[in-house]
Structure 1
């Protein structure tokens, strides 16, 4: 996965969770962040699906992807980014 793609995904997640820029780290997860609750998870999925033009909605594993590493790995496995 390119550095640019990883940065874009992290920016999308930050915006979906309404975080300040730079708060999200490459190892961040729902367990570490109060704002990453079930509603936050849905916001992330919707934002990523919009950005990738509907390609996320068909990946069932994304529903349980509750960390930056998991999200990045799933996107890479599915050749999304």
Structure 2
């Protein structure tokens, strides 16, 4: 039996202060194959902080949207890019 592969989607807007903790929490879970962070047109450093939170395992990807589309749009962008 194979291990389940889970994709954690984090839709974020102006979450620079908290995004690193969310990513680290997701990466600690053994079944997490990837974490896709969608920065939904933040005006802070959310994408930069998210990229810096990558643990080097190759499981974190960050998508930066130039126009705020809301949570469902961000989620759908993450689903489209997911490999899991």
> Which structure has the highest strand share of the two?
2
TM-score by length of 2: 0.34
TM-score by length of 1: 0.34
Could you say which structure has the larger radius of gyration? Answer: 2
> Which structure has the highest helix share of the two?
1
